[in-house]
Chains A and B, each alone.
Chain A
């Protein structure tokens, strides 16, 4: 038997943390509420984010995601409930906690007319760190060759990466990213994914919001889906998709299989013709595929399983981009 503390202890049951700060989860929210006037922005949210976790917060615009993150960051005070970040309450402004948190806001916040390196050196100095921290952060996000460009001359993707570098310059344990890949092209988005994966590999906890569900599915250990200020689902993307029992789509080239024949195959719930394919929606992909294989062979057959986006749309009843 060893007597060392487990790094992932169970969540504290009382309002005050009983575990040492180093062992505390990254974020513990308990019954958190926040309203603006008559409008509840966060309506009783309880969740625990573990150390080293890549945690996604998804939801339609206006669902309360940003407010929720701002409460975790200590930028807003919750009306009710308890908030602990790395074992400490983030509100009121907690100078002991701040150096361990990094945040990238939706707007790219840069000091005017400075170069990328000068901007980061200024941010580093605000944390009491030498200018060399700026070069490390630039390297982390792959902006070393843009170090001497003015912030105003950077491309959209480079600005996003610089904003993330600003969140990392002081090597925080917990990083908050609010829509870091918004308005990026596909290539810039994939480049940024690598940056984010590297951060997780370094053991940092990442809490982020996004409208890109493919991205959340690919990056996140767990996601919380927030609708109207409440968490309506919280699990790994894999289990969320599995639990939704969304149909698998089997696509057979038109002409190989009639819709009538398809309708009669095992497990098939619906048959449509889309884009040159007979599309079979099935709740039991195995038997259906076996039957299709027997009839026409599987060489030109494609399957598409449910994605997080399907689950999300089903749960929120809306388009992800509103």
Chain B
């Protein structure tokens, strides 16, 4: 078995054997989707002519995927460094890029499974999402979104030394961002200055891009801009990740 395959298998087993992570990755975002979907069932957002579900489904999807990507790599990096597993890996001939590549591939697969699950539920008649023809374009946005949040997660996991610190930092990034970027509340209901502020946040672009592709709320330009913005965030956080990465806590 190649190092890549073995690491992917180890990641997979560690993930499915941890029921808490499985819950927070799949069931927790679904809970938001179901609750908001039922509260605003059949309603339209005033002034936009679009149903609530057209906002909530892409919003919860983006947040759930981004959240899982960021938390997953941040916890893993912190834990591996604390347990000296990073040093063990460093003492093998396998390059770090293979190790991170296996995590990256795993995160993409998780994001894809999440997307299929969340969209599948939103398509149920009781929630009433209808897919636009452009829905396949959500895939590149999803991929770039996972990449951006993964690079943020590397920074968080490199800075934080305890599980508590990872949870605190990641939550204070993700929870305000979820609300400000319109994941739970339609962005069109927010005051103009908040809408402008949200343009500094990666989740806003992921929401916009996924929403444009899935529901037709935007055109190809929206999807292109979102993808470019997510690529830009990846670059910025990727550089930060390389700068903050540590092999052990005392170096």
A contact residues vs B (CB 8 Å cutoff):
73-76, 93, 95, 98-99, 101, 103, 105-114, 118-119, 121-128, 130-131, 166
Contacts and interface: CB of A to CB of B under 8 A. Distances in A.
28 contacts: A75-B90, A75-B91, A75-B247, A75-B248, A93-B90, A98-B93, A103-B87, A105-B88, A108-B83, A109-B84, A109-B88, A113-B13, A113-B14, A114-B10, A114-B13, A119-B10, A124-B6, A125-B5, A126-B3, A126-B6, A126-B89, A127-B93, A127-B94, A128-B2, A128-B3, A128-B93, A130-B1, A166-B88
Ranked nearest first, the 9 interchain pairs of A and B with the lowest CB-CB distance are A125-B6, A126-B92, A109-B84, A105-B84, A109-B85, A113-B17, A107-B84, A126-B94, A109-B88
Given A125-B6, A126-B3, A128-B3, A99 B87 contact: no
Contacts of A125: 1-3, 5-7
B176 to A, nearest CB: 30
A107 B2 contact: no
B133 interface: no
A103 B92 contact: no
Contacts of A99: 92-93
B164 interface: no
B79 interface: yes
Nearest to B11: A111
A179 B251 CA distance: 20
Given A76-B251, A126-B89, A113 B18 contact: yes
Given A75-B248, A98-B92, A110-B83, 5 more contacts: A73-B91, A99-B93, A107-B83, A114-B10, A128-B93
Question: For chain A, what secondary structure do more than half of its interface residues adopt (helix, strand, loop), or is it mixed?
Answer: loop
A111 B18 CA distance: 13
Nearest to A75: B87
Contact of A112 (B14, B92, B248): B14
B85 A110 contact: yes
B87 A109 contact: yes
Contacts of B83: 107-110
A118 B94 CA distance: 18
A124 B92 CA distance: 9
A130 B88 CA distance: 18
A74 B9 CA distance: 29
A118 B1 contact: no
A111 B14 contact: yes
A127 B92 contact: yes
A166 B93 CA distance: 14
Contacts of B85: 109-111
A122 B91 contact: no
Nearest to B13: A114
Nearest to B18: A113
B12 to A, nearest CB: 11
B90 A122 contact: no
Interface in B87-124: 87-94
Contacts of A124: 6
B251 to A, nearest CB: 7
Interface string B215-251: 0000000000000000000000000000000011001
